[in-house]
Amino acid sequence: MCGRTACTLAPDEVSRACSYRNRGGRRRQPRWRDGDADKYRPSYNKNPQSMSPVLLSQRHFDKDAPVDERVLASMRWGLVPTWFKEDDPSKMRYSTSNCRSENILEKKSYKDPLKKGQRCVVLADGFYEWKKQEKGKQPFFIYFPQTQGSSQEKTNLNQDEPTTPARKKKNSETACPAEEASSDFKERGEAACDWTGWKLLTMAGLFDCWTPPDGGEPLYSYSVITVNASPNLQSIHDRMPAILDGEEEVRRWLDFGQVKSLDALKLLKSKDILTFHPVSSIVNNTRNNSPECLQPVDLNSKKEPKPTASGKMMMSWLTSSSPSKRKVPNACERKEERESKVQRKSTGAMQQWIQGANKKPRVK
């Protein structure tokens, strides 16, 4: 745990989904580090050694950056320590995809980055976990509960009604009048509108930078920090990622200048805030990368289950098209365009997301 995730948002969607308010109360949208948006590949089935989106303080790259400025980077999943002497990261003899919160201060691979303030937030639609059964293992997809229209707020969805990343593609736009989406906001890096699409899971992580002994491009990599599983997940697995719940926890984890390491470690707790649903064993093979990996299955029936309220949200999100081709809608749509969407027959958020996976991207 955690050994497989999904992150299906396009690079610009990830940026919009990570909008935040700075200390002055202004809404900001983190930019991608130069060249990193091209290194990231959306996927329904990410495994260690792949490149994933990570949020961190801009001060790690620019010492003069404002203390609360954030940046997005693509990093390799599986931390490669800066002191690693081999010429190939694949030669590491032990796994660093996860680090147990209890051992951070005991192992040099994690203790050194922690002391340097190299804390990051690993982003994903959600993660997969396998429950041991008499015959094999049953995979589950685990993620933040979602709200229709305001993905930044908590919900108290029933566990029987999972919310999945497919749930809201038609809501994967920013909510604001069109006149507010000015180029001036973009130039200042400020998000004029609130993101109402899929609420990304925010997992605490540590990163390091390794340079090949013979020189070459530095490699940034990370580990997902894990804690004991929350009560509602213990039946699936005994561990879970350390979840940062809400803007304040994300801010404290990233602010390595004001929040010292020992205080930041207090954020790493088991939190009973996630929801989940069973998925097909197709996800077991990392070569399978399709919306089917996320689709809920009925464990008591061979037939496709009837979409639940939260399951519908995931399907709606998937309707956009394949993650690599998904075209982001205009930040703020005209009122008449929104109304026309509402009039369309709804097949449920999650179902729409999956059904739309084979659609061609929208052309401006």
Strands 219-228 and 98-100 come out as: parallel
Q: How far is CA 283 from CA 187, 293, 312, in A?
A: 40, 5, 20
Q: What is the SS3 assignment for 364? A: coil
Q: Tell me which amino acid residue 201 is.
A: L
* Cβ-Cβ contacts under 8 Å for 162 (sequence gap 6 or more): 141, 143, 275, 276, 277, 296, 308, 310, 311, 314
Catalytic residue among 2, 7, 99, 120: 2
Contact, 40 vs 51, CB < 8 A?
A: yes
2 tagged catalytic: yes
User: Does the active-site annotation cover 86?
Assistant: no
Q: Report the side by side order of strands in the sheet with 43-46.
A: 43-46, 5-7, 126-132, 137-143, 275-278
From the list 13, 18, 99, 129, the catalytic residue is 129
- How far is 98 from 45, CA to CA, in rounded Å? 17
Angstrom distance (rounded) from CA 9 to CA 133: 32
How many Cβ atoms sit within 10 Å of the Cβ of residue 31?
Answer: 15
- Residues carrying an active site annotation: 2, 129
